Structure 1
């Protein structure tokens, strides 16, 4: 089967690999679509400390089961697949902190989603693989995984109906958070970014959008927001976030920062104004299920701006890094 391997920063390579063999309880899925994630783009542009040369990237995956050794699933089932599932037994899982599971990646799809076939471990099959309704196509289904991450981030903020929310960052995740926050009843929602095409899409769900290339965010948004979501990996923005949150509010450092990043925060504001700082990554199976259930109800028109074949992904990564378009999805034969 064909796969796309990460070789080194700014270099990917189409390669041949044997089709995965599956064990009892597992299924083999023919990939039909896999979304391009910011982590994929960052790895392509500058490498990643946890990703080795030869790794097949991609984790926003949908497809068709072609072989099953699980009695609840059969060949021909259309599915969306989470990239991992928690063990349920470690100390973190016992506390409900599933994304910190000590064995999270012991049950992961193999290889990554930028391949023609993936092996889905039994734990993922049981917890975080769902049948697709006929009305949902494979490309749209690839959005379930990032939506699940956004649900996790908003939950950590304890976002409530009527909360004011500032989202800093107009990448795909920031736009999804804007859309979900509107559905959850947040108001007003302010979206800050610097890409006109993305801000135009975000304006469908935000009460106000601010282009930070044209306006100073501090001049427009004062302190007093109930919740602040930092969805751009810039330490300067993370440091600035405290200036926008009000008493009793919360900030989520949702986006990862470059290695060795440091920020300076006023601990007295956090202490006396009882401000909550959280960070989130990934999702629990419950978030994945919520995202699957919500998918058909969301206004996603125009969100996916480009679909590409496997051999076009290297150029697509570079375009995404240059903020061209909103969301790119790789599609495979038969989609």
Structure 2
């Protein structure tokens, strides 16, 4: 079978590999779709401290059970796989805080991922109820988008997005698009989408139809948001981009008692930003992080897609074979797509 295997930063190869054999409590699946994200591009360029090469990449996974052994899963079952695997045993997991499990492992990092024709779902995934049945009526490609939607769901839950909120989403990539749609599903009054790249902004806005699309390259974003909100500012600001400038600007976009979600992480060698703590203090602002998703978030995301509350099919702009995975990474890096999915 063909796989996309990471060997070192800048060294990712399309290779032949034997089909894996199921053992113990693992489940063998035939991968139908494994979608790509910006993290795959980062791994390709810079590696990751959790990856022990050689490693098959890919963590947004949907497929069909081939051999479930005695796990209860049967051949032909359609399944979606969580990306982040909490241990289920530590103090954080026992408190229901699985997204911040200190023992967390990940598909495509600690275990071979979904850029392959076949893959093993580790028993550890099943132990935390992380192999999810795909609801009837949605395809494998849509189901693969449940993983990033699960992360978005975690972020918006922490930021308490809800009825009547004015929401600013900074970043018009696939995550930004999912934030726009989920905010609407949660009852937001208005959602504004911001990006520096006009071409990507227009491509995304054409699909998710925000109440306003603001290009930061030629518009004063703060001034425009203030105008749109009659000077009040937004109730929620989500930085769906790995940008220090976006995080710092977010404070100027806030209404009183607003919530800021730092959804996109910053480079580990340059993570500090400047914050006016008096602004946080006197306007009673709340700043929250967002780190991945739990198995429960993945199940909820599948339900949101299946119900039509958060459509995702039209966000998949490119479908490529596994042999074109490096082309997929280039498309993602250039911001020339919304969602690119690999179909092994």
Question: Normalising to structure 1: TM-score of the pair?
Answer: 0.92
Residue aligning to 2:202:
199
Secondary structure of the residue aligned to 2:335 is coil
CA distance change for structure 1 residues 195 and 33 in 2, over 3 Å: closer, same or farther?
farther
Q: After TM superposition, list the pairs within 5 Å mapping 1:53-72 onto structure 2.
A: 53-72=53-72
CA RMSD of aligned residues (A): 2.0
Secondary structure of the residue aligned to 1:20 is coil
Residue aligning to 1:116:
117
Between the aligned partners of 1:325 and 1:200, the Cα distance in structure 2 is: 8
Asked if structure 2 preserves the Cα contact closer than 8 Å seen for 1:107 and 1:123, the reply is no
Q: Which moved more, 1:245-254 or 1:8-17?
A: 8-17
Pairing 1:282–2:285 present: no
Question: CA shift at 1:53, angstroms?
Answer: 4.0
Residue aligning to 2:23:
23
Unaligned runs of 5+ in 2: 227-231
Q: Which moved more, 1:51-60 or 1:281-290?
A: 51-60
Question: Normalising to structure 2: TM-score of the pair?
Answer: 0.90
Residue aligning to 1:156:
158
Q: Which moved more, 1:218-227 or 1:249-258?
A: 218-227
Question: CA shift at 1:152, angstroms?
Answer: 0.4
Asked if structure 1 preserves the Cα contact closer than 8 Å seen for 2:201 and 2:215, the reply is no
1:171-228 deviation line (CA, Å, top 9, x unaligned): 1001101011011111211110124344343353421111222212122123621111
Between the aligned partners of 2:329 and 2:91, the Cα distance in structure 1 is: 37
Between the aligned partners of 2:104 and 2:70, the Cα distance in structure 1 is: 21
Between the aligned partners of 1:107 and 1:101, the Cα distance in structure 2 is: 15
Residue aligning to 2:229:
none
Q: Which residue, 223, 227, 243 being the options, matches 1:219?
A: 223
Q: Which moved more, 1:9-18 or 1:175-184?
A: 9-18
Unaligned runs of 5+ in 1: none
Asked if structure 2 preserves the Cα contact closer than 8 Å seen for 1:45 and 1:318, the reply is no
Between the aligned partners of 2:233 and 2:200, the Cα distance in structure 1 is: 28
Asked if structure 1 preserves the Cα contact closer than 8 Å seen for 2:135 and 2:302, the reply is no
1:91-112 deviation line (CA, Å, top 9, x unaligned): 1112221111133218888311
Q: After TM superposition, list the pairs within 5 Å mapping 1:301-320 onto structure 2.
A: 301-320=313-332
Residue aligning to 1:300:
312
Residue aligning to 1:171:
173
Pairing 1:331–2:343 present: yes
Asked if structure 2 preserves the Cα contact closer than 8 Å seen for 1:199 and 1:211, the reply is no
Q: Which residue, 277, 283, 288 being the options, matches 1:273?
A: 283
Q: After TM superposition, list the pairs within 5 Å mapping 1:206-285 onto structure 2.
A: 206-222=210-226, 224-261=233-270, 262-285=272-295
CA distance change for structure 1 residues 71 and 58 in 2, over 3 Å: closer, same or farther?
closer
CA distance change for structure 1 residues 107 and 136 in 2, over 3 Å: closer, same or farther?
closer
Pairing 1:90–2:99 present: no
Between the aligned partners of 1:49 and 1:215, the Cα distance in structure 2 is: 38
Instruction: Report how many residues are paired.
Output: 332
CA distance change for structure 1 residues 274 and 329 in 2, over 3 Å: closer, same or farther?
same
Asked if structure 2 preserves the Cα contact closer than 8 Å seen for 1:182 and 1:205, the reply is no
Between the aligned partners of 1:110 and 1:65, the Cα distance in structure 2 is: 18
